[in-house]
Structure 1
Amino acid sequence: MSPEQPSSKIGKSVGEKLRAARITQHYTQSQLAAPDFSVSYISAIERGQIHPSLRALEILAARLGMSSTQLLPNKSQQEDRTSAAAALSEREEDEVELSLLDAHILIIQENTQPAISLLEHISTRRLKRSHQLQQRFLVGWAYYKAAKYQESEYVLAEAVQIAQELNAQYLHLRILHQLALTYAAMRNYAQALLAHQRCLNQLEEVGLQDPFFAAQIYIQMGQHYTRLENFEDALGAFHKALAITEEFTSTQSIQAAYTNLCQYYATMKDHELATLYAYKSIQLHNLDMMKRLRSELYHYLGHAVLQTDSTQARAYLDQAWEAPGVQQDKLTQASLLARRAEWHFTQQDFTEARKHALEAQERAQPFGDTIIMADTLIILGRIEYASKNNEEGGRHFVSGLDMLERLESHEELANESVRYAQLLEEVGQEREAFTHIRRAYQSRLKLGK
């Protein structure tokens, strides 16, 4: 068997142990080697020129009546001390990170004094530079919350220097922002504007697209300009903030922005921040999914209730409108408005039905393709057909059916295609009616019916 690796201290130590064990067992090198190894291989191990593979070590140890670990080198006392020191250092780092996280949470919860006490007990002399940066930032933030503005300014100025030294873009921006807020609290609005302008300049320099942070800065700058009675620049800053926020009117657009930030920090090899924004994106997605589930629940529940007594159905719709959370959930509102439209439709009150359906459409529009929007379009189609506005009704119906197909809601698509085909037959459009009967048939095939 050929040598595996070049000579090393480990090899020499293994070789010394192997030679001592071989002599103790009264083996010659030839006897120990056969039949798997050559005599020169054993000789090279014992001279420390090579060290064996783990598999070779197991075979040789078994021949000598030993375990393979008995042939491995012992750690020196110095190595043991170094290993223990490293373990201690890692443990201390873990404790520091946990303390910094605890302090961060305390500040968010407005428990500033316990946060300050905790942070001040962390010795900055023994901290890694990155931990020093976090500690100074959190101390400055906590002092600001406790209205200790002079102390906050001093500590944050230190943190700015460390952030520049480490090229820590994310914390550098947040520290400058906090420093600007501190200046503003001290009524030094000119310095506050300078600090916030530095934030904007840095965002532009690094090409970081963080619209949420940029909007926040413009809002604060607008307030600084207002207090300086520079109303023209104040309006300019507020309009810039407004322009940014108008781009994010749905959870999908906000989620896309978080995804972009995640990709940016991943490219910059800042895996912690990439993970943070990935979690934010996922959380928004889950929140959006939960809202959609709730709106769909009201959609199906409303359909079922409308099959009951008319008075009972209306009472349910009114009660559901006042349920907790509904006033903050536009999609659920759209679902309930669509059911109200259908209720008025069954009462032959097409004016009220149309009004509620159009309100439902307006609320559902920002969410894109949803079962609620498809249902609303179909309700509008039924209303327009009942009002003899067949062309308008057909346009709504087809839009709703196409959306159901994109959503792969095959059962609803089959049922509504049949309903539309019947309406087309009633107005003498048999060929078009046949097209939608075939669409219903194809949808039922996909359902296995």
Structure 2
Amino acid sequence: MSPEQTSSKIGKSVGEKLRTARIAQHLTQSQLASPDFSVSYISAIERGQIHPSLRALEILAGRLGLSSTQLLPNRSQGEDRNISIFPLPEREEEEIDLTLIEINVSLREGDAALALTQLAKIPLKRLKRSQLLRHRFFMGWAHYKNGHFQQAEYVLNEALQIAKELNDHYLTLRILYLLALTYTSMRNHSQAHLSFQRCLSALELSTIPLDPLFALQLHMQIGQYYTQQENLELAIEAFRKALDVIGYQINSSQNQQAYIDIVRHHSDHKEYDLATLYAYKSQFLTEQTQISQLRSELYYYLGQAMLKNDLQQARSFLDNIVQQEASLHTLDKLSLASLNLCNAAWHFEQHAFDTALTEAQKNQELITSFGDTIIGAETYTLLGRIAYAQGQQAQGDTYFAAGLSMFERLELHEELANESVQYAQLLEEHGKEHEAFVYFRRAFQSRQELGK
């Protein structure tokens, strides 16, 4: 029996035991699920479609008056032999290590579907514990990227247990971070908050050198989480911590694609040491580019939180950050576009529509070379609001169409829903009820994508 078949059989047995115990307690799926899980999650477990995480198993067992082990299946000795770990021949071990490097590259290049295909080809029963840890981490990452959030939760909790067992601080941090993002996507706010806090605590207690990119991403995501919860004070605090991490010195990036090509060349020639070396170089250069992009997004999110919370505070922030950037001469074009956008939005809130238009039009010129970005999408929707405020509805419709389409391509469903509602309200105010209904429906569909 293959590992996948064994896993499926285990999942089905857990589901059958869960259903039997639930019925014996005269509970509906909804009663068993609330408040931590969805009914569809319980239903999927009972049908053997997904596996519950260890934490989920403990919670469900507790509600049923059982221990978590009572919900686990009884394996035969034959099955135990099938999933035992055998020592790998040296050659095969090297090939698996190389495959794991290739999977890491696939995920960093954004090809999560390819990563899942690559992961499925690795024989789990022959992996060492350190290899199994990386496998489960990459599997959880790939499921998260593909929107398979319940599968991601299960696999990442598995990986977390192995990381703790191996005392792997590096992956423990990244697993907790991915779990927080997964729970946020599942709208499980209590678990998302807990995972973020555990990740922060682990980062503070870690004895390994600080990874600035990771710390930056963590504080930014926490800021966005608090913004969604409308806790703007904590959101601004998190964004300011991200700003402290990033500083104002960004190294100029090089063409990391060249290094990815070198990795593939050495991999094809089975020169694994060189492939590994250049994979790390590729990762480093990719992160330099990411820092620049993340800085622009950080300015955007912090500016938006301040605009919602305190316009005077937002004005002071914009003036100070522009002055600092000008003195250091390190401001890249996308970060400049982010600050211009915040400045235009501030003037719009002050009803200084001509000034807002000038700033937003500057942005329109800056963003054209960057393709689809959240900065670009927000620039177009802001231009749409300005046009409506100045009585130019036809021009406003063109801008809104461009901005909403960009949000859709970026799969930013939260922003797409919010901007669709604002546009629908403008259409309704101008007597275009039918068109307004179309965008209210679009907002509803976007929120469905978020599980709301």
* Same topology, TM > 0.5: no
Larger Rg: 1
Normalising by structure 1, we get a TM-score of 0.40
TM-score where L is the length of structure 2: 0.40
